[in-house]
Structure 1
Amino acid sequence: MGESVLLTSTPPEHKESVIVSSAPQSRPWDVHRLPSAEGRNFLVTGGNAGIGYFTAEQLAATGALVVIGSRNPAKADAALASIRSRVPGARVRHLHLDLADLSTLKSAVDGLALDLGRLDAVVHNAGGALDDPPRRETEDGHELMFGTNHLGHYALTRWLAPLLSAAPAGRVVTVGSFAARSERLDLDDLQSTRDYRPKRTYGRSKLAQMCFGFELDRRLRAAGSTVLSAVAHPGGALDSLTPPRPPVGAPTPGERLRGLPAALMVQGKDAGAWPVVRAVLDSDVQGGQLWGPRVFGLRGQPRREPVPAHMADPAVAARLWAASAELTGTTDPHLGFR
């Protein structure tokens, strides 16, 4: 997509595809008419499926180069093919990225740096969710969900710092979860070694991500960095309400039918990506903000939300940061941002 093209010729069956507009951003935000982002580079971790996929698809329609970070080449290739089939001229590529193996992150980012030179935004989206015991661990011996969802992104941010700082106004957008609202961190058992319950451990790993996103912005401001850090969440996003993207994902007719009653309160993953995309693109977004769906934080157009007190507690965040630094072997209190 070398020119600032409007996707006004989108076929009828592609009506949910994003339309790029060069109109001034003083107008109300429209999820179907996103501002052009030609010349910018975005990385979406876990962009091969779910919220990450739709974030990548929507960002690709703005003319930006979108890099999908994924540890599964086959799934990444399927996502790239799907985006290219829906977004004419899409500039998308794959970066092999395994957040569960911290030792591989620096070399992955080094390769990205050689190709791009700068990164305008990273979307910390990738993550795992386990439904049943037993407790599992990453390559580094960390509990799998906490290690992948939080520690992997914490370490990745450290290596991405020079690329983000090289952009005129870099952004780190951390994707949290509505589930984090009802959780509290156990700072003495971050790895769930004493009491492992999969759903609670998942919620706490997402809470750790969100606390990190807010604390990162405080440290970026203290360092005088031009990079900002914001947090977004998709609300309630169900596969059964998500438009099909074969072979990436396609709910069966039965699944879609069973999901219809839930549409009164929640939405599909395409709409779940809207707050994330706005946090990446909207020039009015500021560091330390939280973005989510308008209706009860579960569905609808993206809007700014108040930050819950337990996510913004600086004392809790400082302890989490110190523990994360120790567990990932990071010593720089600003993660390399200057």
Structure 2
Amino acid sequence: MSYPSSPTRPWDVRHLPPAVGKTFLITGGNAGIGYFVAEQLAATGAVVVLGSRDPAKADAAAFSIRSRVPGADVRHLRLDLADLISLKDSVDRLDLGHLDAVVHNAGIALDDPPRRESDDGLELMFATNHLGHFALTQWLAPLLCAAPAGRVVTVGSFAARSERLDLDDLQSADDYRPKRAYGRSKLAQMSFAFELDRRLRAAGSTVLSVVAHPGGALDSLTPARPPIHVTTPGERLRAVPAGLVLQGKDAGAWPIVRAALDPEVRGGELWGPRVFGLRGTPHRESALPHMTDPSVAARLWSASVDLAGVHDPDLGFGG
């Protein structure tokens, strides 16, 4: 049974449609935004797989979800997005016949120099946030294609709005500034996601690629989920003024959950919070032109194939 978002049945973030029989993989599902995406999807009756490097943290997240969602089917997939060579083996360990959606949520944000590299010799934020998800998409393609309407949901960021990709220095080797490198890595993710949907549509695929972002989501406005997340009374009090324009990470998960679950969502769309893109219930918004530029995306795609060491064509969706 489908539950379309319409004037007669508006989307309700607190009363989600059932998704029994569906399976979702959330990278970085053990903490932050990813944790609340997992908790909310688990409440629909779906199978939720937490992609995480740390089994202990994944176990703690699963325990927390089950304590709030009795009977929740929560699993763990050991996943290290910075270790590109390991990703195929990780996916091979998924004991699933299909995957209804992968939520590309995991990421790192480094605040200080020096520039750091992965074991593969790639700038760490670009490798983790973009290239890891780029490669993971290829290995998940057969499972996504086996679902009736698979989805790739990429979690973007406000940080991408003010950045532009330097296609001649994607790894910030010439001029490394941590905040800029982070914003560019998120822009690369979003550019890839929009380009992926263009290629999926051209191939006649049933899989959709959708982008969503959490707006302004703060730890101090987020409800406690000990030991995953704990805030002191003082932190909550100091955050009250910020709550006028920002929100907690539980609400930041709403657009991402809708992008993964709502049957009315279409490929190539961008979803975010309704109020100035910072807080509130999810709605569809317009992507900025530099996020959807096909010529930039094509060059990024070609470079990513080489850097990630994947086969293409079209990451396994194009035949």
TM tier relative to shorter chain: over 0.9
1:25–1:35: 8 Å Cα contact kept in structure 2?
no
Pairing 1:4-153 to 2, within 5 Å after superposition: 25-26=5-6, 27-112=9-94, 115-153=95-133
Pairing 1:1-338 to 2, within 5 Å after superposition: 25-26=5-6, 27-112=9-94, 115-338=95-318
1:158–1:336: 8 Å Cα contact kept in structure 2?
yes
For residues 221 and 5 of structure 2, what CA distance do their matches in structure 1 show?
A: 30
Give the superposed CA RMSD. 1.1
For residues 278 and 169 of structure 1, what CA distance do their matches in structure 2 show?
A: 15
CA drift of 1:117 comes to 1.1
Change (3 A) 1:155 1:265: same
1:275–1:291: 8 Å Cα contact kept in structure 2?
yes
User: Which amino acid is the alignment partner of residue 189 of structure 2?
Assistant: Q
| 1:118-161 CA distance string (max 9 Å, x none) | 10000000000111111111121110101000000000001000
Structure 1 residue ranges, 4+ long, deviating more than 6 angstroms after superposition = none
CA drift of 1:35 comes to 0.5
CA drift of 1:22 comes to 7.9
CA drift of 1:24 comes to 5.7
Give the structure-2-normalised TM-score.
Answer: 0.97
1:118–1:163: 8 Å Cα contact kept in structure 2?
yes
CA drift of 1:333 comes to 3.0
| 1:264-317 CA distance string (max 9 Å, x none) | 111000000000000001000000000000000000000000011000000000
For residues 327 and 24 of structure 1, what CA distance do their matches in structure 2 show?
A: 40
Aligned pairs, number: 316
1:165–1:226: 8 Å Cα contact kept in structure 2?
yes
| Structure with greater contact order relative to length (CA < 8 Å, sep ≥ 6) | 2
Gaps of 5+ in 1: 1-20
Give the structure-1-normalised TM-score.
Answer: 0.92
SS of residue matched to 2:132: helix
Point out the more displaced range, 217-226 or 308-317. 217-226
1:240–1:259: 8 Å Cα contact kept in structure 2?
yes
SS of residue matched to 2:103: strand
Query: Percent of aligned pairs with the same residue?
Result: 78
SS of residue matched to 2:161: helix
SS of residue matched to 2:315: coil
| Counterpart position of 1:17 | none
Point out the more displaced range, 303-312 or 24-33. 24-33
| 1:6-29 CA distance string (max 9 Å, x none) | xxxxxxxxxxxxxxx986644111
CA drift of 1:42 comes to 0.4
Change (3 A) 1:142 1:300: same
1:223–1:334: 8 Å Cα contact kept in structure 2?
no
For residues 274 and 124 of structure 1, what CA distance do their matches in structure 2 show?
A: 15
User: Which amino acid is the alignment partner of residue 96 of structure 1?
Assistant: R
CA drift of 1:87 comes to 0.5
For residues 22 and 154 of structure 1, what CA distance do their matches in structure 2 show?
A: 30
SS of residue matched to 1:34: coil
For residues 42 and 209 of structure 2, what CA distance do their matches in structure 1 show?
A: 21
Point out the more displaced range, 285-294 or 323-332. 323-332
| 1:231-268 CA distance string (max 9 Å, x none) | 00000000000000001011112211221111111100
CA drift of 1:331 comes to 3.0
For residues 267 and 39 of structure 1, what CA distance do their matches in structure 2 show?
A: 31
User: Which amino acid is the alignment partner of residue 41 of structure 1?
Assistant: T
| Counterpart position of 1:13 | none
Gaps of 5+ in 2: none
SS of residue matched to 2:154: strand
